[in-house]
Structure formats: structure tokens, C-alpha cells
Amino acid sequence: MELDQDERGERDFFLQLVYVGLLHFCNFSALNYFVKSIVASVCGIIVLILYSPLTCLMGSKPNLSSNLSSSIQSNVNSSYWEKDLPVGHDDSSPTNILFGETILSILMLLGLVWMLNREFEKAYRVTFHCSRLSTKDRRQILNLKNQADWLLHNIIPKHVHESLKR
């Protein structure tokens, strides 16, 4: 079953939207990296399940009317599905190759999302820690400066201090 150019373009567009959507799970700054990555993984797995060839085959079953006898219905179903159901792993069919490519792409993208989320989390925590340490050091330096000024004002007489200002 060869995909025509229109179906392939729709497939590529849909998958590009999925990839961009999965990458945007790195942008939730209020969530922990683990939660963001789990949500991205669940969404990726749902897309893979919905995009799998078996799901696509199940969705295209014919709707036979209930007034046919069961023997006619079973004959129609068996003859209709014998040629369409995958008997074994046919690795040369385009849908299996495209699905394998999609699985690989989404798994690699999910790995990237996990790594990026962890790195963003570490960078955010380091930045927060550094800014907190710098604020603490700034207060300590200001306190030491005030102590040094107070000591200098107490050691040096007032008239010497005024002459040094000029």
C-alpha cells in the first residue's frame, strides 16, 4: 500500500505538530521537571497508540447492517479482512516503515525533552542558589563596611576627618 503525496504531506504535517507540541513541554516553568517529562511521555505514548497501524485498521472496519445473516456476515468479514490484516511482520510495507520511523522519532524527542527539562531545572536551581548567596554576601559586606566606617569615625578625631574631606 503506497501512500500518495497528499496523504504523506498530511502525515508529515501532523507529526511535525506533534513534535512541536512535545517540545513545548519544556516551557512549563511552574512544574517540576519530573511532572513535565511524565506528561510529555504520556502524550507521546497516546500519539503512538492512536497512530499505530492496528488502531488505524480497527477504525476502518466496515459497518455491516444487522439484517444480514451471521453466515453471510462472517464470510464477508473473513474475505474482506484476509487481504488487509497483517499476517506477520512485513517490514517492507510503507506503513510499518513509517510507523517505525515515527516511534524512533517520538522516543528520541521524549529523551530530549527529559534531558532538557532536567538541565533547565538544574540551571534554575543553581541560579536561585547563586542569587541567594550573593544577596547574603552583599548584606554581610554592607555590614562590614558599616562597622569599618564606625571604627574609623571613633578612632580618627572629628577635626582630622573634616580636614581629610576637603
Instruction: Give me the number of domains the chain comprises.
Output: 1
Asked, for residue 135, whether it belongs to a domain, the answer is: yes
Asked, for residue 122, whether it belongs to a domain, the answer is: yes
Asked, for residue 106, whether it belongs to a domain, the answer is: yes
User: What is the predicted pLDDT for the residue at 57?
Assistant: 59
Asked, for residue 114, whether it belongs to a domain, the answer is: yes
Query: Considering the chain, what is the average pLDDT of its residues?
Result: 76
pLDDT digits (tens, 9 = 90+) for 108-133: 999 998 999 899 889 989 999 999 99
Asked, for residue 131, whether it belongs to a domain, the answer is: yes
For residue 44, the enclosing domain spans 5-60+91-165
Asked, for residue 123, whether it belongs to a domain, the answer is: yes
Asked, for residue 29, whether it belongs to a domain, the answer is: yes
- Assign 3-class secondary structure to 25-72: HHCCCCCCHHHHHHHHHHHHHHHHHHHCHHHHHHHCCCCCCCCCCHHH
Asked, for residue 136, whether it belongs to a domain, the answer is: yes
Per-residue cell: 115: 534531558
Tell me the C-alpha distance between 68 and 87, whole Å: 27
